[in-house]
Amino acid sequence: MNARPTLELDSLTTEAMDPRFADLDTLEIGELAALMNEADAEVPRAVRAALPQIVPALEAASERMLAGGRLVYVGAGTPGRIGVLDASECPPTFSSPPEQVFAIIAGGPAAIVDAVEGAEDDASAGAAAMDAATIGPLDTVVGIASSGRTPFVVGAVRRAGELGALAVGLSCNAGTELSGVAAHGIEVVVGPEVITGSTRLKAGTAQKLVLNMFSTIVMVRLGKTYGSLMVDVHASNDKLRERAVRIVRAIAHVDRAAAVDALQAAGQSVKVAVVMLARGLGADDARAVLAAAGGRLRAVLEAGS
């Protein structure tokens, strides 16, 4: 290995040693837990400090999603797995098709569980992944790299920009290479880790918080909620079916039996069930009304009030 990567790591705050944690291996479990909790509390503050970078990226991403674009996360190792986790939660929460929000991890699906040697060091593979995903002008690509220098991610974000996509770089250091190739560089500087260089800790938490914003806010803008209620929930198990009943009851102001009956007639679609109850329509007509309103339940209910 040449000297350049070592010198770069020496300059990264995520690789620095924090004197607070110098005697970590001598502490009792209670002390360790308190120390980690104290360190974790710094993360939301770092995210808040980055909001001036986060908000414009969210606004631009939302515009493209409203026009039919996709949200694509790209990462290697822990950031890649965090991207997979966040993307995989969108279909059950918002009934979004799997191809609308998805993640690409260096090394492919096998890397979700096992490390794939050298996969993160291949910038050309990152660029090729963008071509394979047919990334285009309506898409938003969020590259995630704690260091901000991971070649696979930098290569992917650079190529995404060349293809006309909204290129976003999310890192946990300042002045990163990733920010330099992105239209929107988001740098959540969380400082040294409890275990030096273990960026699955504070950096990983920061990345999940920011991705929570991306996947949640773009879906809210797409009309996937009514107030704070997840009206596009995919009721695929007992818990979610019960949640659907509670949501229908809360919006339509009906008893449990009416909500259950409406959901059954609506094929377990909360939105369709609510429109049926609120507007006195059959399931097919309710679906048509929703479709005409772009799937926005609030627009339908306010139009009928």
Kindly report, residue by residue over 95-137, the tens digit of the pLDDT: 999 999 999 999 999 999 888 878 899 999 999 999 999 999 9
Sign of CA dihedral 25, 26, 28, 32: negative
Instruction: Please state, in angstroms and rounded to a whole number, the distance separating the CA atoms of residues 121 and 236.
Output: 39
Both structure tokens of 96: 């979004």
CB contact at 8 A, 170 and 186 = yes
Q: What are the extents of the domains in the chain?
A: 3-221, 238-303
Q: Name the pLDDT band for 304 (thresholds 50, 70, 90).
A: low
Tell me the CATH class for 238-303: mainly alpha
Identify which has the larger pLDDT, 244 or 7.
Answer: 244
1: burial class by Cβ within 10 Å (0-12, 13-18, 19+)?
exposed
Can you give the pLDDT at residue 10?
66
In the structure, what pLDDT confidence band is assigned to residue 4 with cuts at 50, 70 and 90? Answer: very low
pLDDT at 281: 96
Q: Is the pLDDT of residue 7 over 60?
A: no
pLDDT at 36: 93
CATH (residue range 3-221): 3.40.50.10490
The strand pairing partners of 75, in sequence order, are 105, 144
Residues contacting residue 3 through CB under 8 Å, at least 6 positions apart: none
Query: What does the buried/exposed string (b/e) look like for 226-235 if buried means 16 or more CB atoms within 10 Å of the residue's CB?
Result: beebbbbbbb
- Map residue 144 onto helix, strand or coil: strand
Q: Which of 8, 15, 63, 89 is catalytic?
A: 89
pLDDT at 34 over 60: yes
Give yes or no: 28 in active site: no
| One-letter identity of residue 45 | R
Average pLDDT over residues 180-185: 98
Give the pairing type, strands 71-75 and 140-144: parallel
The active-site residue out of 63, 120, 193, 242 is 120
Contact between residue 218 and residue 61 where contact means Cβ atoms under 8 Å apart: yes
> Helix H segments across 72-201?
78-88, 90-94, 123-132, 151-162, 177-181
- Band (pLDDT 50/70/90 cuts) for residue 305 is low
Q: Percentages helix, strand, coil for the chain, rounded to the nearest 5? A: 55, 10, 35
Active site residue 89: yes
Distance CA 122, CA 154 (A): 10
Q: What is the mean pLDDT of residues 160-187?
A: 97
Q: What was the pLDDT predicted at 11?
A: 74
